[in-house]
Amino acid sequence: MKSKLSEINSPDDLKKIKPSELKPLCRQIRDRIIDVLSVTGGHLASNLGAVELTVALHYVFDSPKDKMIWDVSHQTYVHKLLTGRNNRFETIRQYGGLCGFSHPKESPHDHFHAGHAGTALPLSLGVATTRDLSGGDNYVISVIGDATLTCGMSLEALNNLGRDRKKFIIILNDNRMSISKNVGNITKILSRLISNPRMHHIHRKVDKWLEMLPLGKKLTRQGRKFLRSLKNYFSSAALLEFFGLSYIGPIDGHDVEGLIETLQGVKDSDNPVLIHVITNKGEGMHEAIKSPITHHGAKPFDKVTGKFIPPTSSMPTFPKIFGKHLLEMADNDPKIVAVTPAMSFGSCLDPFMTKYPSRCIDVGIAEAHAVTFCGGLAYENKMKIVCSIYATFLQRGLDNLFHDVCLQELPVVFALDRGGISGPDGATHHGIYDISFLNAMPNMIIAQPRNGLVLRELLSSAFGYGRPTAIRYPNMATEDAADPLNYRECGKGEILEEGRNLLIIALGHMNKTARQVRENLLKNGIRATLLDPVFVKPLDAELINKLMLTHKYVVTIEEHSVAGGLGSIVNNHLIQQGFKDAEVLNLGVPERFIGHGAYKDIIEEIGLTPEKITSQILEQFSFELSNAR
């Protein structure tokens, strides 16, 4: 029997299917997602939970005229399957393939790049305002998760919403999870709403009964006022209705026909509407339901058992080394406190959180708050604060970093996970801009370890610096020697290999690449000096100045934007120190947005493989180096 999914090339094709055939279609969509992600990996549990909701949205509304704007948008795989991308779905998150998030250049049904939480409501409000000012009549549908409401930007958008905005619908897809379990008072409010669904049913029944009576419409309006007061007494819907929203729900997010009926019923509302939909993260796959956290960003797995395929490398990753060592530090020092904005699993803090729940604090998707909160925790120097946050998410707390930590001279240690190329997640997740804005902050220290041992030494030493300190590292496997830990003096680099005339300054894990480059250059008779600066700020000025007395040619290598990164910092230092004859080649991430794909493919594209780096060095300095051997 031919799959219904294979017949759908656009939402118009979906609308031709009978409502009774939608349930089998939803099963086919889940099978398709499981089949592909078992090979490629990707956002599994969230997409399995959003199948019926997405089908219902496209069945009722007319995309792309009606604008569906997804928060984070990691749950848009079903949306992609229904909007003409099924035949390319095997390429999801692969180099040159479909993006794992919404992507405007990929389809007219995708309206914004979205990879960070909290953007859907402000964007939707902006789109709806432009629609109203220009006389448009399309619907604007914002699909958010329950964790979205822990993000201050979402609440700010609700504050500006107004009560008379027509054709504005918010879908609250409540699966009680973000990546990790949701936290905070908003979650408690939603739990109360879930526990009081009877009020919505009463509301609908009384509405229908009143409309059958003479003067029914007038009575209905008065009845709604009374019932709203009664509902507010029993539930927390008042919070949402204070923002001018008509609250509907909670409703079953896996009843596709019920969802369609509800969506059709709100299309003529005179007020903005919030529909509270309850879904199960991982629906349709037992292993994903049982372990929604590990199956959020799933690795390749056995699609029969749901078990992950074992990794090929036995080496630990930087995040795992960080999480393990920080817990060991906490075991020996009761003053250690860790804060994370909904990234406890990805940052490997879950064991810390389990053992010391009062000292490992998840503040939800609230990066700006996390940074300022850490400033408050560090005040009076009674505790030692580690803010564990992805490099790309720290961008959202830039003013807080400046105003509430650096300006106050508070010794918060920032553990910047995913510092570098983030592979399949793409442009919204590459941590390649943090050095540039951190370097602009007075009082800030910036360091990057080349391996696990140096990471542990930096973590153990950082509180001795007495200043805000950022330790950035990628999510990749690395060596971790069992050597005794040494204190890392602030601003001191290391010479890893000695040579002459050509100096290679490689940052962090790029030292591994630089060693291979050095071996390649040896074959050409060039013996380079290899320097690991360890600290980007402050640079080891004394060591670099000493090396520049015997080295004319300098190459900087970093997995960071060349605009404002290590190379720029080294260039500025050389100019200030008067090394006018130095010839410098800066290698890093080019000044453009980098797409998604396997790490090796992206590194090849941007020219940071050992072979391409070697070629660039020989081309740049060929004549000079040949005379300097």
So where are the chain's domains? 5-195+243-298, 197-234, 322-472, 494-628
Say if residues 447 and 535 touch (Cβ distance below 8 Å).
Answer: yes
**What is the rounded CA–CA span in Å between residue 449 and residue 506?**
11
Q: What percent of the chain clears pLDDT 90, i.e. is strictly above it?
A: 78
Confidence of residue 151 (pLDDT cuts 50, 70, 90): confident
Q: What is the mean pLDDT of residues 298-321?
A: 90
Q: What is the mean pLDDT of residues 553-573?
A: 97
**What is the rounded CA–CA span in Å between residue 526 and residue 625?**
7
pLDDT of residue 303: 87
Q: What is the mean pLDDT of residues 378-403?
A: 96
Q: Which residue has the tokens 């060349």?
A: 562
Say if residues 124 and 67 touch (Cβ distance below 8 Å).
Answer: yes
pLDDT of residue 297: 87
Residue 234 has pLDDT above 50, yes or no: no
Cα–Cα nearest to 183, from 144, 143, 146, 152: 146
CATH code for the domain defined by 322-472: 3.40.50.970
Q: What are phi and psi for residue 247, nearest 5 degrees?
A: -95, 130
Sign of CA dihedral 498, 503, 504, 508: positive
Of the listed ranges 194-203, 233-242, 346-355, 611-620, the one predicted with least confidence: 194-203
Catalytically active residues, by annotation? 281, 367, 396
**What is the rounded CA–CA span in Å between residue 293 and residue 619?**
48
pLDDT of residue 198: 45
SS3 137: coil
**What is the rounded CA–CA span in Å between residue 453 and residue 494?**
14
The per-residue pLDDT for range 251-309, each reduced to its tens digit, is: 999 999 999 999 999 998 889 999 999 999 999 999 999 988 888 889 999 988 889 99
**What is the rounded CA–CA span in Å between residue 134 and residue 132?**
5
Peptide bond into 250 cis (omega under 30): yes
Q: What percent of the chain clears pLDDT 70, i.e. is strictly above it?
A: 89
Radius of gyration of the chain (CA): 27
**What is the rounded CA–CA span in Å between residue 67 and residue 431?**
30
Q: What are phi and psi for residue 593, nearest 5 degrees?
A: -75, 130
SS3 94: coil
Higher-pLDDT residue of 626, 463: 463
Whether the domain at 5-195+243-298 and the domain at 494-628 fall into the same CATH topology: yes
Confidence of residue 548 (pLDDT cuts 50, 70, 90): very high
Residue 478 has pLDDT above 80, yes or no: yes
The per-residue pLDDT for range 56-76, each reduced to its tens digit, is: 999 999 999 999 999 999 999
**What is the rounded CA–CA span in Å between residue 275 and residue 72?**
18
**What is the rounded CA–CA span in Å between residue 373 and residue 379?**
10
**DSSP letters spanning 335-351:** TEEEEESS-TTTTT-HH
Beta sheet of 67-70, edge-to-edge order:
67-70, 140-145, 168-174, 273-278, 246-252
Q: What is the mean pLDDT of residues 593-617?
A: 97
pLDDT of residue 358: 97
Say if residues 490 and 465 touch (Cβ distance below 8 Å).
Answer: yes
pLDDT of residue 328: 97
Residue 172 pairs in a beta bridge with 144, 276
**What is the rounded CA–CA span in Å between residue 188 and residue 507?**
45
Residue 189 has pLDDT above 80, yes or no: no
The per-residue pLDDT for range 405-430, each reduced to its tens digit, is: 999 999 999 999 999 999 999 999 99
Confidence of residue 164 (pLDDT cuts 50, 70, 90): confident
pLDDT of residue 380: 93
CATH superfamily name and code, 5-195+243-298: Thiamin diphosphate (ThDP)-binding fold, Pyr/PP domains (3.40.50.970)
**How many CB atoms neighbour CB 23 within 10 A?**
14
Residue 568 has pLDDT above 60, yes or no: yes
Q: Which residue has the tokens 């290698």?
A: 587
Residue 85 has pLDDT above 80, yes or no: yes
Q: What is the mean pLDDT of residues 430-458?
A: 97
Residue 474 has pLDDT above 90, yes or no: yes
Q: What are phi and psi for residue 54, nearest 5 degrees?
A: -65, -40
Burial per residue of 198-230, b for 16 or more beta-carbon CB atoms within 10 angstroms, e otherwise:
ebbeebeebeeebeeeeeeeebbeebbeebbee
CATH code for the domain defined by 494-628: 3.40.50.920
Confidence of residue 205 (pLDDT cuts 50, 70, 90): low
Say if residues 174 and 146 touch (Cβ distance below 8 Å).
Answer: yes
Residue 192 has pLDDT above 60, yes or no: no
Residue 618 has pLDDT above 50, yes or no: yes
Burial per residue of 33-59, b for 16 or more beta-carbon CB atoms within 10 angstroms, e otherwise:
bbebbbebbbbbbbbbbbbbbbbbbbb
Residue 227 has pLDDT above 50, yes or no: no
pLDDT of residue 270: 86
Taking CA 72 as the corner, what is the angle to CA 254 and CA 110, rounded to the nearest 5 degrees?
Answer: 85
Q: What is the mean pLDDT of residues 221-236?
A: 48
Higher-pLDDT residue of 225, 615: 615
The per-residue pLDDT for range 327-385, each reduced to its tens digit, is: 999 999 999 999 999 999 999 999 999 999 999 999 999 999 999 999 999 999 999 99
Mean pLDDT of the chain: 90
